[in-house]
């Protein structure tokens, strides 16, 4: 005969009564928890929001695995936290620095950062204050989500609830599209972007007849591999992502195309795990522009 020990449910209910609602999914948590037990978002977000006057807004960074979300986001934060420019970000909480630190330290060693884990409890989240001439007192929450989780949630609703809870609350989105793949004749990035855009419209309760007013910056990443995206991102979109281009016209009222790249040159090495890409020169281009546009388009205090 084996004994079964079971936690008393009433204990949990007692904890909820004095507990902390998660800032992302709204579920109750005990105060000493670090991550939300329902969606794995850091509870520090809720602690910080509770003592702040300004309600933070959510910015979604979406795209399939490997399209360059982690690198772009880390680089963006690094550029904006150092520059004495009119646009600046200030990390709130130590956890908000991890992403930037990981990306920058890997690039400095001529490596790309490792793949983002698909488990939400291992993602990096950023909570930052943004100083911009176009917006006073903007606080942003940005998770570095994994592409796999986004696909999972789109294909199997509620399999990764944090993706849904978060994207429902977004005030703006950065949609990343791999220009390197498009340039090689692969149309998968076009299909993926269309799928994500339709998902965003559904989440924000838009029927096909009504346009979504959420600003979406479409960024062609790895444009260092195809200069034509840098020359004219809009023309590149019309030519290389005709499906997405059409859908944007029909479903969005605020969108713009951009191109970005973080490296000047790459080399390739081969080892046990296969082909490795080695960044040779770090030359960020077009990283800040999409963000600057989004910040100026995001309306204060909506949703």
Q: Could you count the other beta carbons within 10 Å of the beta carbon of residue 186?
A: 13
Q: Answer yes or no: are the C-beta atoms of 118 and 130 closer than 8 Å.
A: no
**Of 30 and 225, CB closest to ligand GDP:** 225
Q: How many CB atoms lie within 10 A of CB 223?
A: 26
129-188 positions binding Mg ion, by CB under 5 A: none
Q: Is 193 in the site for Zn ion (CB under 5 A)?
A: no
Q: Does 46 help bind Zn ion (rule: CB under 5 A)?
A: no
**Cα(232)–Cα(69) distance, rounded to whole angstroms?**
21
Stretch that binds Zn ion, among 35-43, 190-198, 201-209, 248-256 (CB under 5 A): 35-43
Which of Zn ion, Mg ion, ligand GDP, none has residue 36 at its interface (CB below 5 to 8 Å by kind)?
A: Zn ion
Q: Is residue 39 a contact residue for Zn ion (CB under 5 A)? A: yes
Closest CA to 143 of 177, 108, 119: 119
Radius of gyration for the alpha carbons in the chain, expressed in angstroms and rounded: 20
Residue from 48, 116, 165, 241 touching Mg ion (CB under 5 A): that is 116
**Of 15, 30, 38, 98, the one binding Zn ion by CB under 5 A:** 38
Residue 38, binding choice from Mg ion, ligand GDP, Zn ion, none, Cβ under 5 to 8 Å by partner class:
Zn ion
1, 71, 102 from 263: Cα distances, Å: 63, 10, 17
Name the E strands within 88-237. Answer: 88-91, 125-132, 135-143, 170-178, 216-221
**Which of Zn ion, ligand GDP, Mg ion, none does residue 261 bind to, with CB < 5 to 8 Å depending on kind?**
ligand GDP
Per-residue mark of binding to Zn ion, 232-271 (x: CB under 5 A): ----------------------------------------
169's contact among Zn ion, Mg ion, ligand GDP, none, with CB below 5 to 8 A by partner kind, is: none
Contacts 24+ apart (CB under 8 A), 98-104: 98/124, 99/70, 99/73, 99/74, 99/124, 99/126, 99/144, 100/74, 100/126, 102/74, 103/70, 103/71, 103/73, 103/74, 103/75, 103/78, 104/74, 104/75, 104/78
Q: What minimum distance in Å lies between the beta carbon of 71 and Zn ion? A: 27
299 touches Zn ion by CB under 5 A:
no
The window from 13-21, 35-43, 46-54, 116-124 that contacts Mg ion (CB under 5 A) reads 116-124
The CB-of-27 to ligand GDP minimum distance in angstroms stands at 27
The nearest distance, CB 229 to ligand GDP, in angstroms, is 11
Binding piece for Mg ion, criterion CB under 5 A, among 90-98, 111-119, 123-131, 241-249: 111-119
Residues 6 or more apart in contact with residue 222 via CB below 8 angstroms: 68, 178, 179, 180, 261
Picked from Zn ion, ligand GDP, Mg ion, none, the partner binding residue 22 (CB below 5 to 8 A depending on kind) is Zn ion
Location of structure tokens 């809870």: 165
Q: Which residues bind ligand GDP (CB under 6 A)?
A: 63, 65-71, 112-113, 115-116, 147, 221-222, 224-225, 261-263, 266, 277
**Are the CB atoms for 125 and 95 separated by under 8 Å?**
yes
Q: Please, what is the end-to-end C-alpha distance for the chain in angstroms?
A: 55
Q: What are phi and psi of 164, to 5 degrees?
A: -65, -50
Tokens linked to 140: 């942003």
65 versus 288: smaller Cβ distance to ligand GDP: 65
Positions 3 through 32 that interact with Zn ion (CB under 5 A): 22, 24-25
Q: Which residues bind Mg ion (CB under 5 A)?
A: 69-70, 116
């Amino acid at each position: 005969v084996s004994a079964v020990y079971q936690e008393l449910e009433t204990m949990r209910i007692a904890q909820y009564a004095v507990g902390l609602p998660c800032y992302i999914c709204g579920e109750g948590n005990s105060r000493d928890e670090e991550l939300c037990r329902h969606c794995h978002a850091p509870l520090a977000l809720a602690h910080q929001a509770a003592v702040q006057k300004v309600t933070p807004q959510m910015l979604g960074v979406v795209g399939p695995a490997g399209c360059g979300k982690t690198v772009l986001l880390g680089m963006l934060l690094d550029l904006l936290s150092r520059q004495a420019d009119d646009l600046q970000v200030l990390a709130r909480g130590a956890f908000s620095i991890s992403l930037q630190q990981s990306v920058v330290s890997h690039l400095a060693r001529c490596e790309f950062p490792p793949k983002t884990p698909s488990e939400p409890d291992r993602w990096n989240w950023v909570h930052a204050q943004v100083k911009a001439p176009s917006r006073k007192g903007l606080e942003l929450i940005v998770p570095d989500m994994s592409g796999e989780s986004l696909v999972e949630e789109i294909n199997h609703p509620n399999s990764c609830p944090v993706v849904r809870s978060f994207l429902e609350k977004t005030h703006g989105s950065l949609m990343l599209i791999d220009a390197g793949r498009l340039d090689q004749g692969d149309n998968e990035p076009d299909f993926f972007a269309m799928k994500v855009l339709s998902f965003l419209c559904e989440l924000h309760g838009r029927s096909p007849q009504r346009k979504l007013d959420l600003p979406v910056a479409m960024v062609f990443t790895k444009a260092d591999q195809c200069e034509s995206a840098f020359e004219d991102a809009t023309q590149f979109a019309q030519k290389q992502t005709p499906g997405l281009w059409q859908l944007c016209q029909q479903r969005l009222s605020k969108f713009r195309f951009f191109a970005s790249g973080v490296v000047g040159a790459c080399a390739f090495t081969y080892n046990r795990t296969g082909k490795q890409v080695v960044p040779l020169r770090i030359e960020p281009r077009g990283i800040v522009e999409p963000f600057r546009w989004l910040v100026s388009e995001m309306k204060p205090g909506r949703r």
